Structure 1
């Protein structure tokens, strides 16, 4: 029955695209040419005589490298080839080809980059001056992912005034990077392919099987023969190392340890997309249907697998011919698939960061994310006050929007509160520095200063508090039912995450202990939780004439946003029409915010003594007792970016602080905001300096207790931004 389906599908191709249309597959070795020829014979064998007469045979084209294949397809001398994701990106973006199918493996559509060494004293931090074996220039597992990792940890330094290949050739003592001969001959020193001045006879350092160290199998061969000290390959190639010799090799883990080859899931340098088939736009439709027919007949569950196996190359004495051996199936891609959907946003951003598209204006600037008019003004003043690399201020509508824009490569960095840092970490962003709220900061030479970096400095946390007016004696924890609430903003640690872990109402049926939104909606009559909707927006005020915005916006344009906004919400505006009974906010700038109410014209006469703190056990205390009357610790804000940009953003921030510290007359302070009419703009006002933390995992910075609370809450709380971040190319097909 399945054979009949194959016949019908292939006959449809013939009728739809005319008689005698040939599909020409580009191959890069004699073995691959033989496998292609066998596929052509097998296709003819499964068709009836009438179909054979109408359907042209598969034609197999010989090329001397994958780059040659791209050129042949572009010039209409071939039609299809399977490429590594890095070359797919080049083929699509630079040569106007189109991806029509993607390989899917047993555990998804992605591969893991692993660094393999012989049992030795090497670790991932000591790779400089070693000999390296790579799958291919700009290839995912052998080039882009490991270099992105080395750059993100600052093990490899690269100035964008020079090509990345030059920095790599200086970093390693010697290398074999197939495909690098035309851009960086030094990266070909270890390669062993045949040399010739005639292009189609030269296989030295080419992306072709006659270069012995080409692709993952070749990079492992480079390591086995002793030519190299480390091989960067994809995890699917580890199965090619026999059981007897597996104990001779180890994986290098990001934390500096080594692990057995079987631990590749937890010990790798990153994840990226697998291979895909590309063709010209004009033949994309017939290419898709051809691939669908070939897979239906000869795939893992093909009706004619006994005749030919599409994903098996053992009978041709090689591996990964036409397709990877571990391919489970091909997913056919439709026209509406953008390259970022095929390869993934993180991977595309990585390639751009590595200069895959060449240099651009974006390479010379840092784009900072701003979420309000006030932040934009402060950011622009920052840009005018520094003499370091240019700063560009880019507008977003919320912290969540900033995370999405960074992932989309529309901005580069932002300071995120602890809950948003958790979200950003789930999205693949990484720490650069962390705000330090200590009174002094240790400089590199051991002195103290206000604008300094230190990798060993303690990272003090802040605390969340619940504030009420002293006059409202009937308000306390456990008695919030029917009250009005003021929260800093959606997902804020002090305004959203921590309060619901305390008893809000004795009457409330605790049916959803892990969903703050549901808890607040069940308890409070109404409130202002910027970024929310429904009753939790009814107390909000919206923006002013200077910053007009709809009510409940998740940024400073909403007058009840943030710590200062929650305080405004508690005291109410001058009309006294919209205010709350309790405010959930951070303690760090509470008293200064209270004192700012009068000069700002918001509300006159309020003093610290007019407010009290609510303790979780039902007590009320003066504001000065926040140390023993609070809702829990709030980890420091983290400045986060895409992994490949950590070094650039860090250098920018260091230069910024040095410039501002040496020029106090500029009148600009990175960590003060009241002159812009708000608080905590760009950075928290409690910040004294920024501490270098790019060597730490965001989970470590947040602390295990806070991380686990956030993890539990988001397990049952819907968040659009996490849905966006979890669109993984490994699983969406």
Structure 2
């Protein structure tokens, strides 16, 4: 006990002498709880008398934004806010986040839609009455509207406020805090109306609005005012038996579920509440929270006197903190907000216009991985007559994934392995490339009818991974490649990295040495060029120079600035640079444009005299075959390359692509063609040159596009092969519980 008192005194002495720590409250009930906290603190400070102790005071605010204003103006010091308001407080008002509430399953909440049994499903929300826990809040606004936008159920022209689109979607609503711009979104609220600001509680983020917060949104549904309520799962954790019998959850697939099944039937997850303060008050607030938690938290020494995370004695719920809070996680100073709230959540908020309308909202930012791609993208931007296109450059496909997840870019076309990685990172498909006869048929139907044809992934013709050697190198076959010089299109490529493992390093057994196929390749081949890799697998690469002395910055780069990158690059690597040096014994690439690339070796001036007859395929059974015999001599089928984006931008990217395809696809009279790269001095720039059509894929998951066998192989490989991009994506704060 003496130790606790000593700690308390030390902490209080660090507060400015004689000053109070001022907590911002939103209701009379919160004022009562806050006052009791102040009394409890007085009681555990025996050296302070009741008259001289004034270490905490409770500052009554009108609503959450009034709290933010008071903290900014140094009239209050801290407040607990929903994550959506935390973001606004930090990004728009310059405050700092000092702690997060941690619940049973971490610091995140599930956003759920609740309705009376048998009345609704998620696909029939248009035109119903709705109640939401708060405007721009995680579970009442951000996650559900992100979900509806990703599904294209809610259409939003980003030139208008999102609130206007929501007004047109629902019949009437109560969304506390939405403001006066959208009166229909306050129509169902029941707070007192008054022209006197302190007496007006209508549609406010304050407990004086009966339908405020998750408790209020559920009350709104129970009183029959609304047909659906959007709230967090913490409210239904305490559902009564009669509530469980009368209400159900609306699931994303159109089904319904019991209230207890929120972890499998929800619209998504997002961060819970956080505590904000001024930047220069971070240390003091941190110490204050540490102290009251040590005294009155779940394991507090003085919990019998006062319980920090309990509101029942004061006649309310979630007062000062959520009642479901297990403890407060204190944060370091000056943490980037994306690492506090999660990359996906911050990208979602930007997509929903939380920082106001900006140029970013109206443009499509396409990610390019080389100078040649950038050149082609800029031509695309000049040719398209739709949303403005902005071209951003990255160093690799993995960097593009990182930029899209961080909302620094919007879309990119990825090969199958990178689609798997992007899917693991929370990105979603928009359109898949289609190669072959089925595409022409789909294109023809679309041109005649103007209707979108959704082609299942099984109908998309695959590309095949092949191993290629010079015909003159008779001794080489698929079984004796160990110790040879190898050419791979790039690190993580389906043909030159993933599928190849089955026939090389993966065939050596399941010992730990070969489990990490990245390092296993280093030992398997003598040396090679696998752009994006390192060590032995970069020794044959040449960068962007056609002669010795290549520029170091581009050598082994995971983009077309490395001349040995991609399918064309692996072929160039096999024949060597124009001087005949720096070459490999075997190349691993895709069959789709192999014959065209062999022709281009000559026409592009890379090397003269080669024809298809100078090469042979290496078959899995150890035999060799002509390059045209790929249907029976390949290393496996590769799912189509796919355009990926963040969920909230699917519709925008889809509309943009379909407009681009219609005007710039394969029409011979078009000066710029989406699926041709020769004009820009490369091959497979932005899209594969073999692409005939982009097929809508936003209705498919990335797993459906890739297929079971490809997914299983990718999972088995990445389970023990380190990939920095996957570690980057694991930073999402909702992926696991915080401690």
Which category describes the TM-score, using the shorter chain as reference length?
over 0.9
TM-aligned CA distance change 1:556 to 1:51, over 3 Å: farther
Counterpart pick for 2:325 among 324, 327, 337: 327
How many residues are matched?
731
Partner of 1:172: 170
Asked if structure 2 preserves the Cα contact closer than 8 Å seen for 1:481 and 1:507, the reply is: no
Cα gap change, 1:367/1:59 in structure 2, threshold over 3 Å: closer, same or farther?
same
State the distance in 1 between where 2:9 and 2:51 align: 11
Displacement after TM superposition at 1:54 (Å): 7.4
Q: Distance in 1 between matches of 2:148 and 2:342?
A: 21
Closer/same/farther in 2, CA of residues 507 and 209 from structure 1, 3 Å limit: closer
Q: Does 1:634 align with 2:638?
A: yes
In structure 2, the partner of 1:596 is 600
Cα shift readout 1:494-537 (whole Å, capped 9, x = no counterpart) = 11000111246988885445432133223211111111111111
Post-superposition offset of 1:452: 8.7
The match for 1:128 is 126
> What is the distance in 2 between the residues matched to 1:188 and 1:254?
26
Answering whether residue 484 of structure 2 is matched by residue 480 of structure 1, we say no
SS of 2:92's equivalent in the other structure is: helix
Matching residue of 1:426: 424
Q: Deviations over 1:133-168 (max 9, x none)?
A: 101110111001100110011000001121100100
Which residue does the alignment assign to 1:608? 612
1:341 aligns with 2:339: yes
Deviation per CA, 1:162-216: give whole Å up to 9, x if none: 1100100110111110112423111011111122221111111111112111111
Cα distance in 2 for residues equivalent to 1:505 and 1:320? 55
Between the aligned partners of 2:503 and 2:442, the Cα distance in structure 1 is: 40
Contact 1:435/1:689 (8 A) holds in 2: yes
Q: CA deviation at 1:662?
A: 9.8
Contact 1:92 1:99 in 2 (8 A): yes
Residues 619-646 of structure 1 show CA distances to partners (whole Å, capped at 9, x for unaligned) of 2111122112111111111111111111
For residue 561 of structure 1, what is the aligned residue in structure 2?
565
Shift of 1:13: 2.9
- Residues 509 and 726 (structure 1 numbering): CA distance in 2 closer, same or farther, change over 3 Å? closer
Counterpart selection for 2:672 from 668, 671, 674: 668
* Structure 2 unmatched ranges of 5 or more: none
Matched, 1:695 2:694: no
Alignment of 1:94-133 (within 5 A): 94-133=92-131
- The CA distance in 2 between the partners of 1:108 and 1:6, in whole Å, is 28
**Quick check: 2:11–2:291 contact (8 Å CA) kept in 1?**
no
- 2:252 alignment counterpart: 254
Tell me by how many angstroms 1:545 deviates: 7.6
Q: In structure 2, the residue corresponding to 1:231 is in which secondary structure?
A: strand
Change (3 A) 1:526 1:445: closer
In structure 2, relative to structure 1, the CA distance for the partners of 1:637 and 1:506 (3 Å cut) is closer
Range moving further from structure 2, 224-233 or 433-442: 433-442
Is the CA contact 1:450–1:688 (under 8 Å) kept in the aligned structure 2?
A: no
- Matched residues in 1 for 2:245 and 2:519: separation? 53
Matches of 2:3 and 2:167 in 1, distance apart? 53
Report how far residue 76 of structure 1 moved: 2.3
Structure 1 stretch displaced more, 454-463 or 269-278: 454-463
Match of 1:355 among 346, 353, 356: 353
What is the aligned partner in structure 2 of residue 454 from structure 1? 453
Q: Indicate the RMSD between aligned Cα atoms, in angstroms.
A: 2.2
Residue 494 in 1 paired to residue 495 in 2? yes
Deviations 1:687-723 (A, max 9, x none): 1111111122111111121112111111101111111
Give distance in 2, aligned partners of 1:516 and 1:452.
44
8 Å CA contact 2:111–2:144 kept in 1: the answer is: yes
Q: Which residue of 2 is the match for residue 417 of structure 1?
A: 415
More deviation in 222-231 or 658-667?
Answer: 658-667
Deviation at 1:248, TM superposition (A): 2.3
Residue in structure 1 matching 2:140, options 142, 149, 159? 142
How far 1:21 moved relative to its partner?
A: 1.6
Could you tell me which runs of 5 or more consecutive residues in structure 1 were left unpaired when the two chains were aligned.
none
Q: Distance in 2 between matches of 1:96 and 1:726?
A: 28
Structure 1 equivalent of residue 531 of structure 2: 530
The reply on whether 1:190 has 2:188 as its aligned counterpart is yes
Q: Partner of 1:719 in structure 2?
A: 723
**Residue 470 (structure 1) shift:** 1.2
1:132 positional shift: 0.9
Deviations 1:438-470 (A, max 9, x none): 333456993558999522363222111111111
Q: How far is 1:225 from its partner?
A: 1.5
Q: Is the 8 A contact 1:508 1:523 kept in 2?
A: no
Q: TM-score, normalised by structure 1?
A: 0.96
Which residue of structure 1 lines up, in the alignment, with residue 708 of structure 2? Answer: 704
- Whether 1:229 aligns to 2:227 is yes
Tell me: CA distance 1:501–1:5, structure 2 relative to 1, closer, same or farther (3 Å): farther
Contact 1:481 1:505 in 2 (8 A): no
TM-score, with length taken from structure 2 = 0.95
* SS of equivalent to 2:101: strand
Structure 1 Cα separation of the partners of residues 304 and 443 of structure 2: 68
Distance apart, 1:354 and its partner CA: 0.7
Deviation at 1:222, TM superposition (A): 1.2
Query: Greater shift after overlay, 654-663 or 173-182?
Result: 654-663
